[in-house]
């Protein structure tokens, strides 16, 4: 983060990429490094590996922009770092247990049809259904779901964010998962 916490607008950062100015990476880092590192470290549970993924994300952005002009930039970067981190996680066979990723995926196992039905429903179909479910939630519940299962925040981080106690967070997440399970079943996805 720059001195004084000033960060550049995404449009201007993308312009810098188009100008092939290395300042683009500096601005990207100032604005997104903390977020990207957090996503990666929650998957890998290893700071060095996470930092490597963040740097690879900058490189990926440098190669992709131009020609791409991602909008929103935030989701574009988050998806890159998440995919890179998951690839690294897969390479490390059984090496990292108990990362926030493991914990969050375990919570979702009960409400999302998984590998045994992989051949019946694709990840894309299920993902689209989950988007429909998320659209039915109020904003706070949706953000809470995303923070826990996409950004892989701990319950205590989420409690802090929403000014709740951890138990309230667990209960709310349980209700959201229950709602998701019920929604998917109504949509024809049998758990």
Considering only residues 37-56, where is the footprint of another protein by CB under 8 A?
Answer: none
The whole-angstrom separation of Cα 17 and Cα 12 is 9
Contact at 8 Å (CB) between 99 and 42?
Answer: yes
> Would you count residue 18 as binding another protein (CB under 8 A)?
no
The whole-angstrom separation of Cα 30 and Cα 10 is 12
> Would you count residue 115 as binding another protein (CB under 8 A)?
yes
Distances (CA, A) of 93 to 80, 86, 87, 90, 105: 21, 12, 11, 6, 17
> Would you count residue 88 as binding another protein (CB under 8 A)?
no
> Would you count residue 172 as binding another protein (CB under 8 A)?
no
Residues of this chain that bind another protein (CB under 8 A): 35, 72, 74-76, 78-79, 82-83, 86, 90, 93-95, 97-98, 100-110, 112, 114-115, 118, 123-124, 126-128, 130-131, 134, 139, 142-143, 146-147, 149-151, 154-155, 160-163, 170, 173-174
């Amino acid at each position: 983060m720059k001195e004084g916490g000033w960060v550049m607008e995404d449009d201007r950062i993308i312009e810098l990429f188009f100008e092939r100015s290395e300042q683009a990476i500096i601005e990207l880092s100032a604005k997104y490094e903390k977020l990207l590192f957090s996503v990666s470290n929650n998957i890998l549970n290893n700071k060095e590996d996470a930092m490597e993924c963040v740097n690879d994300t900058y490189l990926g952005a440098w190669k992709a922009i131009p020609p791409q002009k991602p909008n929103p930039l935030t989701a574009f970067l988050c998806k890159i770092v998440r995919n890179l981190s998951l690839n690294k996680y897969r390479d490390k066979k059984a090496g990292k247990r108990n990362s926030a990723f493991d914990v969050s995926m375990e919570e979702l196992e009960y409400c999302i049809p998984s590998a045994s039905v992989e051949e019946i429903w694709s990840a894309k179909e299920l993902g689209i259904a989950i988007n429909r479910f998320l659209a039915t939630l109020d904003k706070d519940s949706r953000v809470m779901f995303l923070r826990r299962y996409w950004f892989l925040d701990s319950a205590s981080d989420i409690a802090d964010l929403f000014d709740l106690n951890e138990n309230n967070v667990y209960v709310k997440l349980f209700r959201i998962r229950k709602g998701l399970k019920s929604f998917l079943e109504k949509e024809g996805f049998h758990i």
